[in-house]
Structure 1
Amino acid sequence: MGVRAGSLVGRVVGALVLAVVLLVVSTATAIWWTARQDAQPASDAIVVLGSAQYNGVPSSIFEARLEHALALYEEGVAPVVVTVGGKADGDQFTEAESGRAYLTEAGIPEDALLAVEEGVDTLESMRAVGAAFDERGWSSAVLVTDPWHAMRAERMAEDAGITADSSPTRQGPAVQTRATQFRYILRETAAYLLYRATGESIAGAPGIG
C-alpha cells in the first residue's frame, strides 16, 4: 500500500508540475504573439502608457511610445491622445505631464491631449484611465506601450471597462536585442500570471509594474 500511495503522490506532483510548466509556456507564447500584433481601429482615444521621465524629459522608452502615439494620431486613429502616469517620490513632474508636454511640442493641439496624472504602475494607471473614460462617455482605446507589455495592458484596460486594442511601439530599448526581448517576456509572464491570480500588480522596471 505504501508503494502504491507513494506512486500516486508522485503522479499527482508530476501532473501539477506539468500543468504549471504548460501554463507558463502558454502565457509566454501568448505574450509573444500579442507583441507581434498591431491593431489600430478607430477609437475614442489613444492611450500612452507612461514610463520614466527625468525632470520633465521622457526616457528613451517613453519617447518611443510617444512618437508612435503621435504617428497614430496623425493617421486619424483617434481624436485624442491620453498620456498616463504619476510621479515617484522626489520627482517634480508626472509621467503624464511630461508626455503631454512632449506631444504638445510635437504639434498635437492641447485640446486633443489629456493627461491622467495618476498611477505608479499599470494597474493603478488603467483604473484611473477607466474613470476618466467613464466621465467623458468614452469606451474604446488603442494602447501604446512596449510589445511585451501589450497583453497585460489590454487585460487591465478591459478590466477597467475599456474596449482595448494595442499598437505597440517597435522602437526603443525594450526591443533592441533578443536577450532584452527574452528578459521582458519572462518578467511579463510572471507579472501577468500574478495579476490573473491575485488581481494585483507588481512594481518593477519601466513598463513592468
Structure 2
Amino acid sequence: MAGVDAASIIPPRSRGGWLQNVPNGTGDTNQRTGSMRLVHRIYRAIFALSLLIVAVAGGLALDIWRYAGQSSAQKADAALVLGAAVLWDRPSPVLAERLRHAKALYDIGQVSHIVVTGGRSPEDKLSEAEASRNWLVANGVPAEAIIEENQSRTTIENFALAAPVLAEAGISSILIVSDPLHMRRAMLIAGRAGLSAQPSPTPTSRYLSWETTMPFLAREVWFMGQYLVAGL
C-alpha cells in the first residue's frame, strides 16, 4: 500500500458529502420537545381548573351547611311549603316533615296561612299540593287557611308560580319551609323572585346521617352552582 494516496480509496461521498447527508435528528427532537411542552401546559391547565372547581364547590358546600341552621322567629303572613315527592296520593316522609313543621308554625300563630306547592308526576294520583292540602286538613288545619299552587315541578317554579298566587291572596311575607340543606338555595331563588321571605327549615329531616346528608349536600352544591351560573 506504500505510495497509494489515501484519498483515492475513500468513497467520494465520504469526503464531506456522504456524512453531511445523514440526518442528525435535531428537527425531530425539537418537535417532540414542543409537543411535550404543550402536553405539560394542558395538564397544568386541567390541574388548575380542577383545583378551582374543588375550591368553589367547597365554598358553596360550607355556605349551604352554615345557612342550614338559620331559622326566623318573625311572624309572616304564610308558611310556603316547598314541594317534595308524593307516593300516589299521600306525602312522602320528606314532604310530611315539611307539612308537620308548617302546621306547627300555624298552630303557634307565627303564620295565618299555609301555601302548598307542587304539581303532579305522571305516576301519581294527586299533585304535591293536593296531597299536602289533604294531609293538613286531616291533621286539623282549616281548609280556608290553605292556599294551593299545583303546577310547579322544580324549586324555581315553586316560587315563580306561587308569586301570583300570593299576590292574589294578599300575602306579602312568607316563611319558607323545607329541609335545612335546601334552605340556602331556596332563599336565594325567593329573593330573586322578589318575595319577602325568611327561612324556617324543618327541625327534623331524613337527611341526618352521613349516608343521607352527603349526597343531599352534593346535590345542593350542584344545583346551587347551576343556578348561580345559568339561572337554572
**The two structures share one fold, judged by TM-score above 0.5:** yes
Q: Equivalent of 1:183, from 207, 215, 224?
A: 215
Task: Give the alignment's TM-score, normalised by structure 1.
Answer: 0.85
Q: Equivalent of 2:225, from 189, 193, 198?
A: 193
Paired residues of 2:79 and 2:175 also in contact (CA < 8 A): yes
Q: Equivalent of 1:21, from 54, 58, 62?
A: 54
Alignment of 1:138-153 (within 5 A): 138-153=171-186
Paired residues of 2:71 and 2:199 also in contact (CA < 8 A): yes
Cross-structure match for 2:96:
63
Paired residues of 1:48 and 1:66 also in contact (CA < 8 A): yes
Paired residues of 1:46 and 1:81 also in contact (CA < 8 A): yes
1:171 has 2:204 as partner: yes
State the alpha-carbon separation in 1 of the partners of residues 90 and 39 from structure 2.
Answer: 61
Cross-structure match for 1:78:
111
One-letter amino acid matched to 1:163: S
Q: Cα distance, 1:138 vs. partner?
A: 2.6
Larger Rg: 2
Equivalent residue pairs, number: 199
Q: Equivalent of 2:73, from 40, 43, 46?
A: 40
Q: Equivalent of 2:192, from 159, 169, 176?
A: 159
One-letter amino acid matched to 1:68: H
- Pairwise CA RMSD of aligned residues? 2.2
State the alpha-carbon separation in 1 of the partners of residues 223 and 72 from structure 2.
Answer: 23
Cross-structure match for 2:21:
none
More RCO (CA 8 Å, sep 6+): 1
Q: Where in structure 2 are there 5+ consecutive unaligned residues?
A: 1-33
State the alpha-carbon separation in 2 of the partners of residues 24 and 140 from structure 1.
Answer: 32
Q: Equivalent of 1:112, from 119, 139, 145?
A: 145
Q: Cα distance, 1:137 vs. partner?
A: 3.7
Q: Bigger CA drift: 3-12 or 92-101?
A: 3-12
1:131 has 2:160 as partner: no
State the Cα deviation string for residues 66-89 of structure 1 (Å, max 9, x = none): 111111111211110001100001
Q: Cα distance, 1:6 vs. partner?
A: 8.5
Q: Cα distance, 1:111 vs. partner?
A: 1.3
State the Cα deviation string for residues 70-122 of structure 1 (Å, max 9, x = none): 11111211110001100001422111011111111111111111011111111
Task: Give the alignment's TM-score, normalised by structure 2.
Answer: 0.77
State the alpha-carbon separation in 2 of the partners of residues 35 and 116 from structure 1.
Answer: 25
One-letter amino acid matched to 1:133: L
One-letter amino acid matched to 1:180: T
In the superposition, relative to structure 1, how do residues 180 and 6 fare at CA in structure 2: closer, same or farther (>3 Å)?
A: same
Q: Where in structure 1 are there 5+ consecutive unaligned residues?
A: 201-209
Q: Cα distance, 1:9 vs. partner?
A: 7.2
